[in-house]
Chains A and B, each alone.
Chain A
C-alpha cells in the first residue's frame, strides 16, 4: 500500500493498455473564463437525468416553483431528485426529446421562468465538520447529485458504500478532446472543490486521496497543488495525456496498478472515484444548500463564434447555449453532446442540458470529418490489429466486429464484449474506417434484449406450468364436488320430497340444454352461409351506426334484441317468482338459448328459425314450463339467471353460492317492476357491445364477400 503512494509521490505512474492521442483542441475554450448566461425562456427538465430510475413527481402543471425547490422525490437509492433551476411556473409535463443518443422522448417538466430567480429558503451550513456522515449523505442525496463526468451514477450510492475505502480518487483527467469544463472549474473554484473533497473525506475516510489530472492543464494543476498543499493526505497526480485516461477503470489502473475485476464495482477493491465537478456540486450542496441545478458546460467547436465554458442551468435547451456562443453553421448541423470520442449527436437543438452534460460540441464539417459523420467509407476489415493495440480493455475489436456482424452472441460473450467501455479508440484508428463502437452497441443492446427475453420466457414457462397445475387441481376438485353433489341429489330424489321433484326437473332442463347446445354447434358449423340480403342490409346499417353510436342503436334496432324477444316469447315462464330455484333453471335455459340465438340471428335469419325450433324443442321437454306473455319479466329473469349460472359454474365449490343466488335473484326480481332499472341499462350495454362486435364481424364479412 505504502509503496503505491511512494511510487505516486515520486511521480511514477502505471499505465493502461493502448490508448490514443487525438488532437486536443482544448485551446478553443481553455483561455476564457466561465461565462454566466442569461436564463432561457423555457427550461426542459427530464425526470431522469442519471443512471437508475426516475423519482416521483411532486408538482403539477400550473404550480409556481421557487429556485431550488424539489420537483421529484423518492426514497429509492437509485432515484435521484431534480430541482427547479430557477423560479417560475410549470407550464407542461409531457414527453420531449431527451439527451440520449436515441433521440427518443421521455417525460419532462417544462418550466417557464419568471425572471425573478427567487430562491426557496436556504440553510447555509458554516461548518460541515459538525455534520454526521448520515446528515452529509442525506444532504447529497436530497440535492440530486449524480456523477457529473458522464455516466451519471447516483452519488449518494457511491458515498454510502460500506467497504473499507483505501483510495478516494478524484477524476480530473478530462481526457476527451475539446472539453475544458473541469479545467476551468478547477482554476476558478479550487477552494470549493477542496471543500467537496474534504466532505467526501469525512464520509468515506479513505486512507489516501488521489487527484488524477492530465498534464495538459498546467494552470489547473497549479491551482490544485496550491489548494491542497497543506493536506498531506491529498496527492495531485499529474498524468501523461492519453485518451482514455479519464475512464474509471483506466484511471484506477494508472494510479493504483490494480484492475477492477469484471462485473465488480471499484468499491469492492476499496476504491471510490468521484468526478471533480461532482466534488464542487457536493460542496455547494452541503455548505450553501444549493442543489444540483447548474453546471459548467463547454460549448466548443469551430462552428461557434465565441466558444466558451458557460454556467448553464440544467434544462437549458442546447440551441439557447449555441445561440449565446454564436452558432455559425447554417446548413448541415452537427451538434454533439459530450466530447468527440464518446458524445452522441443530437437530433434537435431543443435537447436540454442535463446533469451529465459536460460539453456541447458544434464542429464545422471540415473540423470533424469523421467517416462516420459524413457518409460511410467503411471497407472490409483487414485485421491489421491497430484497434487491439489501442484498446484500453485489451479486447480484440477486429474479432468482435466480425462476430458482431454475424450476430454470434456466444462468440461475443467469449470475447468479453461487455468489457468494452465504448471509448472509441478502436474506431478512431481503424484504417478501414469501420464504425466499430457502433457495431458493439448494437450487439450489446441485442444481447441485453435477448437476456430480457430469456428471463421473460423462463418466467412465462413457470406461470404456464403453474396454470396447468392449477387447472388440473381445479378439475379434480370439481369432479369430487360433482360426485358429492350427485350423491346428495340421488339421495334426495330417492326420498321423494318436493325438493326432489324440483331436482328432477333441473336435471331434465340441464340435459335439454346440453342437447340444444350440441344442435347449435352442428348448425353453426353448417351456417357459413352469408346473410340474406335483407339481413345483410340491416346489419350493414347496424355496423355503420354501431361504429359511431354503438350503444344507442344497439338498444333500438339490433337484431340481437329481436332475437332475445323472440326467445322470450317462446320461453315459458315459471309458475311463480317465489320459486327461486325453478325460475333460475328456466332462466338459465332461456339465457343460453337467447345468447346463442342472438349470435346466430346476426349472421343468418335462417339460424333464428332453427334456433327457435331448437329452443322450442328444448323447452317442450321442460315439463313444468308454461307460456307467458310477460316479455320484460323473462328478459330480466334471463339476465339474472345468466349471471348466476356463470357464477354457479365457476364457484360451485363455494357452498354459499346458492344462498347468494337466491337472495340476488330476489333482489333483481324486485327491481323488475321499475321500468328503467340499472340492470336493464347494463344489459342493454352488454347487448350493445355484443352487437357492435357482431356488426363489425358481419361488415368485414360482407366486405370480403363483396370484394371476391
Chain B
C-alpha cells in the first residue's frame, strides 16, 4: 500500500513539476516569440547570384531555400570552394568538396556573341536569367558585358553556336599581384 502511495506521490510530484515548468515555458514561448527564419536570406547573400542553375535549382534564391532545408551545400559551381566554406561556416557544418557532377572551373567568364553568325532568333534572350542580352527578332544580338554573370545558360539554346564564353581579361585594375605570371622580356 505504501509503495503505491509513494509511487503516486512520485508521479504526482513529477507530473505537477512538469506542469509548472510547462506553463512557464509556454508563457516564455509566447513572450519571446521570434518571427521567421532569415537563414535562407543569409544563404542567398553568400551565393554568387549568377542564377546559372547548375545546382539544379532555377536560380540562387531557390537553392538558398533548399540549403536552408537541408540540401547539400556543395552544389554551387560558380561560387566554388569559397562559397562552400562560407555556407559551412554559416550553418556550422563541415566543409565539403565541390559536387563531382559540377565543373570546378569557376574562373570568371563573360558571354560573347559572334555577331556575324547571329541570326537573331532571340532564344538566348529568353534563356538569360539577368536580361543581359540586347536584341530583337531577326536583329543581331549583343551581350551587355557588365551585366553578364557568366552563367553560360545562353550557350546551349543558340541554334547556330554563336555564343562563346570568354574569360574576363586581366587588367592592371583587377590584377592580383601574381608576380610569377608576369611576362618577362627575354633579351639575348
Contacting pair A693 B149 (CB below 8 A): no
Contacting pair A106 B172 (CB below 8 A): yes
Interchain nearest-CB distance for A296 vs B (Å) = 25
Contacts of B138 in A (CB 8 A): 643
Interchain nearest-CB distance for B178 vs A (Å) = 8
- A631-661 CB mask vs B (1 if < 8 Å, else 0) is 0000000000001001100100000000000
**A445 contacts chain B at the CB level, 8 A cutoff:** yes
Contacting pair B48 A445 (CB below 8 A): no
Contacting pair A104 B160 (CB below 8 A): no
Interchain nearest-CB distance for A251 vs B (Å) = 27
* Assembly CA distance A468 to B49 (angstroms): 14
* Assembly CA distance A277 to B44 (angstroms): 51
**B50 contacts chain A at the CB level, 8 A cutoff:** yes
* Assembly CA distance A685 to B175 (angstroms): 42
Q: Which of B123-174 contact A (CB under 8 A)?
A: 129-132, 137-138, 147, 149, 158-162, 170-172, 174
* Assembly CA distance A461 to B147 (angstroms): 11
Residue in chain B with minimal CB distance to A100: B172
Contacting pair A693 B175 (CB below 8 A): no
Cβ-defined partner of B177 (8 Å) among A98, A350, A438, A643? A438
**Contacts A/B (CB < 8 Å), 17 sampled:** A98-B172, A100-B172, A100-B175, A348-B184, A349-B185, A438-B177, A445-B174, A459-B49, A460-B130, A461-B60, A463-B130, A467-B130, A643-B137, A643-B138, A650-B122, A692-B160, A697-B161
Contacts of A466 in B (CB 8 A): 131
At the interface with chain B, which of A10-18, A181-189, A449-457, A486-494?
A449-457
Contacting pair B147 A647 (CB below 8 A): no
Q: Which of A646-698 contact B (CB under 8 A)?
A: 646-647, 650, 685-686, 689-690, 692-693, 696-697
Interface centre among A350, A446, A461, A692 (most CB of B within 10 A): A461
**A103 contacts chain B at the CB level, 8 A cutoff:** yes
Contacting pair A106 B149 (CB below 8 A): no
Interchain nearest-CB distance for A95 vs B (Å) = 11
**Chain A interface main SS type:** helix
Cβ-defined partner of A464 (8 Å) among B130, B158, B161? B130
**A102 contacts chain B at the CB level, 8 A cutoff:** yes
**A442 contacts chain B at the CB level, 8 A cutoff:** yes
**B119 contacts chain A at the CB level, 8 A cutoff:** yes
Contacting pair A696 B161 (CB below 8 A): yes
Interchain nearest-CB distance for B118 vs A (Å) = 8
Chain A contributes a number of interface residues (CB within 8 A of B) equal to 44
Contacting pair A445 B177 (CB below 8 A): yes
Contacting pair B161 A441 (CB below 8 A): no
* Assembly CA distance A121 to B122 (angstroms): 56
Interchain nearest-CB distance for B162 vs A (Å) = 8
Given contacts A457-B47, A460-B130, contact A442 B176 (CB under 8 A): yes
- B60-71 CB mask vs A (1 if < 8 Å, else 0) is 110000000000
* Assembly CA distance A100 to B182 (angstroms): 11
Contacting pair A686 B119 (CB below 8 A): yes
Contacts of A690 in B (CB 8 A): 119, 159-160
Contacts of B172 in A (CB 8 A): 98, 100, 102, 104, 106
- B13-50 CB mask vs A (1 if < 8 Å, else 0) is 00000000000000000000000000000001001111
**A458 contacts chain B at the CB level, 8 A cutoff:** yes
Q: Which are the 10 A-B pairs with shortest beta-carbon distances? A: A457-B49, A348-B185, A102-B175, A103-B182, A463-B130, A460-B49, A693-B160, A689-B160, A461-B49, A441-B177
Contacting pair A103 B183 (CB below 8 A): yes
Contacts of B179 in A (CB 8 A): 438
Residue in chain A with minimal CB distance to B48: A457
Interface centre among A449, A457, A459, A463 (most CB of B within 10 A): A457
Given contacts A459-B147, A467-B130, A689-B160, contact A650 B137 (CB under 8 A): yes
Contacts of A452 in B (CB 8 A): 174
**B74 contacts chain A at the CB level, 8 A cutoff:** no
Contacts of A693 in B (CB 8 A): 158-161
**B51 contacts chain A at the CB level, 8 A cutoff:** yes
Given contacts A461-B60, A647-B137, 9 further A-B contacts (CB under 8 A): A102-B182, A441-B177, A456-B149, A467-B129, A467-B131, A650-B122, A686-B119, A689-B160, A692-B117
Residue in chain B with minimal CB distance to A686: B119
Residue in chain A with minimal CB distance to B161: A693
Contacting pair A106 B147 (CB below 8 A): no
**A530 contacts chain B at the CB level, 8 A cutoff:** no
Interchain nearest-CB distance for B48 vs A (Å) = 5
Contacts of B176 in A (CB 8 A): 442, 445-446, 449
**A101 contacts chain B at the CB level, 8 A cutoff:** yes
**A347 contacts chain B at the CB level, 8 A cutoff:** yes
* Assembly CA distance A186 to B50 (angstroms): 56
Residue in chain B with minimal CB distance to A460: B49
Interchain nearest-CB distance for B42 vs A (Å) = 14
Contacts of B61 in A (CB 8 A): 461, 464
- A234-273 CB mask vs B (1 if < 8 Å, else 0) is 0000000000000000000000000000000000000000
Cβ-defined partner of A104 (8 Å) among B51, B175, B184? B175
- A431-451 CB mask vs B (1 if < 8 Å, else 0) is 000000010011001100100
* Assembly CA distance A458 to B60 (angstroms): 11
Contacting pair A347 B183 (CB below 8 A): yes
Contacts of A104 in B (CB 8 A): 170-172, 175
Contacting pair A460 B51 (CB below 8 A): yes
Contacting pair B149 A460 (CB below 8 A): yes
Contacting pair A464 B59 (CB below 8 A): yes
Cβ-defined partner of A449 (8 Å) among B60, B119, B174? B174
* Assembly CA distance A650 to B137 (angstroms): 9
* Assembly CA distance A21 to B169 (angstroms): 41
* Assembly CA distance A98 to B174 (angstroms): 15
Contacts of B170 in A (CB 8 A): 102, 104
* Assembly CA distance A458 to B185 (angstroms): 41
* Assembly CA distance A692 to B177 (angstroms): 43
Contacts of A696 in B (CB 8 A): 161
Contacts of A470 in B (CB 8 A): 131
Residue in chain B with minimal CB distance to A464: B51
Residue in chain B with minimal CB distance to A333: B187
Contacting pair B171 A464 (CB below 8 A): no
Contacts of B174 in A (CB 8 A): 445, 449, 452
Interface centre among B160, B162, B170 (most CB of A within 10 A): B160
Interchain nearest-CB distance for B43 vs A (Å) = 13
Contacts of B178 in A (CB 8 A): 442
* Assembly CA distance A449 to B82 (angstroms): 13
Contacting pair A106 B171 (CB below 8 A): yes
Contacts of A347 in B (CB 8 A): 182-185
Residue in chain B with minimal CB distance to A696: B161
- A91-128 CB mask vs B (1 if < 8 Å, else 0) is 00000001011111010000000000000000000000
Contacting pair A442 B177 (CB below 8 A): yes
Interface centre among A458, A460, A470 (most CB of B within 10 A): A460
* Assembly CA distance A13 to B160 (angstroms): 72
* Assembly CA distance A643 to B49 (angstroms): 35
Residue in chain A with minimal CB distance to B172: A100
Interchain nearest-CB distance for A66 vs B (Å) = 30
Contacting pair A463 B177 (CB below 8 A): no
* Assembly CA distance A697 to B184 (angstroms): 41
Contacts of B131 in A (CB 8 A): 463, 466-467, 470
Given contacts A467-B131, A643-B138, A690-B159, contact A460 B177 (CB under 8 A): no
- A328-359 CB mask vs B (1 if < 8 Å, else 0) is 00000100000000000001111000000000
Contacts of A349 in B (CB 8 A): 185
* Assembly CA distance A452 to B170 (angstroms): 14
Contacts of B183 in A (CB 8 A): 103, 347
* Assembly CA distance A693 to B160 (angstroms): 5
* Assembly CA distance A347 to B60 (angstroms): 42
